[in-house]
Amino acid sequence: MEKIASKLRKENVGKVLVGESIANHTTMKIGGPADLFVEPSSVQGLETTIQFIKKIGIKWRAIGRGSNLLVSDKGIEGVVIKLGDGLDSLEINGTEITVGGGYSLVKLAAVLARKGLAGLEFAGGIPGSLGGAVYMNAGAHRSDMSKIVKKAYVLFEDGTFEWVSNEDLKFSYRTSVLQKERPGICVEAVLQLSEGSTEVIKAELQKNKDYRRDTQPWNFPCAGSIFRNPLPEYAGQLIEKAGLKGYQIGGAQVSELHANFIVNKDRATAEDVLNLINYIQNTIKDKYNIDLHTEVEIIGRK
């Protein structure tokens, strides 16, 4: 890997590290090393990296700010490309916004609120990047990314780049076409917002941030909601009703504040979290005959 790293460094693609711990790049603070870690400093750096990876035929995957990831203790094979600060461009043209996939969703919501642009208030307090939000169709408070994304510039699994329309992104509850049907990562997106009162937008944004702060356990490392809601039921309510709040395996604990969160209470491993996920799923199936499916993405070596 050192030879590959050396060649990429010569191309000035951005930060290139061998054996970087992915725990440093996830909100859960869990995950083994990547064989090679690249954080491009620009879209051009990303394209150069992908061209080189395709040429030598090595495995790769992209991550954002790591807020919805559980990474194996054994790490990730091949190259991990982080869409971070080098891919955080922002262009505001009236009510149409073009924004890089690495842009912080929390920061973007705040910037747009100050501009009097409505549509992203639901994202108040949601961690992670714009690219990850498109990929997961992130949402809250009866809204989500599908309501505002016009199109996305996507890097697909085969290394090609393509603009994809809202319709072709096939958004649904916490999912998009990019997850399984056409695996890819959002490099940039065009959002359509609307004009509104700055004071009203900022107040709504602050209300959503306060709600998230008061009801979700961000005082411990975590990855956001672990399970998709099996509507019309809610995962957190089912887990709490089953008496699992505070239940712990190893260093991983069902949050005492919100039962659909698993927190890294004390040097938890990915194995601890996976064992706890399985225990919760089995318990809910036994008690209520309901299957819980994970919202958090689980990646890395088995």
Q: Which residues are tagged catalytic?
A: 174, 225, 295
CA distances from 283 to 147, 170, 227, 237, 293 (A): 35, 32, 14, 13, 13
Q: Which residue has the tokens 């996976």?
A: 274
Any residues with CB less than 8 A from the CB of 169 and at least 6 apart, and which?
134, 146, 149, 152, 176, 177, 178
Amino acid at 185: I
CA distances from 194 to 139, 146, 199 (A): 18, 15, 14
Question: How far is Cα 49 from Cα 12, in angstroms, rounded to an integer?
Answer: 10
Q: In which region does residue 92 sit, left (phi positive, over 0), alpha (psi from -120 to 50) or beta (all else)?
A: beta
* Kind plus residue range of the DSSP H or E element containing 267: none
CA distances from 54 to 45, 59, 87, 145, 154 (A): 14, 9, 21, 31, 16
Residue 16 has a CB neighbour count (10 Å cut-off) of: 24
Q: Which of 292, 223, 263 is nearest to 71 (CA)?
A: 223
